[in-house]
Amino acid sequence: MKRKTNCEGGNMQQISVAIIMGSISDEKKMKDCKDVLDEFGVPCEYTVASAHRTPEKTRNFVRSRETNGCKVFICGAGAAAHLAGAVAAITTKPVIGVPLSGSSSTGINGLDALFSTVQMPSGIPVATVALDGAKNAAHLAIEILAIGDEDLHHKLEKARAIMAQKVSDADAELHEKWGKGK
Site of interaction with ligand RP5 (CB under 6 A): 22-23, 25-26, 50, 77-79, 100, 103
Q: Minimal CB distance to ligand RP5: which residue?
A: 22
Of how many residues is the chain composed? 182
Residue 175 identity = H
Whichever of 23 and 47 has its CB closer to ligand RP5, that residue is 23
Whichever of 100 and 126 has its CB closer to ligand RP5, that residue is 100
Least Å from the CB of residue 74 to ligand RP5: 13
Least Å from the CB of residue 85 to ligand RP5: 12
Whichever of 134 and 145 has its CB closer to ligand RP5, that residue is 134
Least Å from the CB of residue 77 to ligand RP5: 3
Considering only CA atoms, which of 130, 151, 132, 129 is closest in space to residue 141? 129
Least Å from the CB of residue 51 to ligand RP5: 7
Query: CB neighbours of 27 closer than 8 A, spacing ≥ 6?
Result: 21, 48
Instruction: Give, to the nearest 10 degrees, the angle between helix 134-146 and helix 150-178.
Output: 130
**Cα(168)–Cα(177) distance, rounded to whole angstroms?**
14
The H-or-E segment that residue 98 falls in is strand 95-100
Ramachandran bin of 146, using left for φ above 0, alpha for ψ from -120 to 50, beta for the remaining angles: alpha
Whichever of 103 and 128 has its CB closer to ligand RP5, that residue is 103
Least Å from the CB of residue 163 to ligand RP5: 30
Whichever of 62 and 77 has its CB closer to ligand RP5, that residue is 77
Considering only CA atoms, which of 117, 118, 100 is closest in space to residue 109? 100
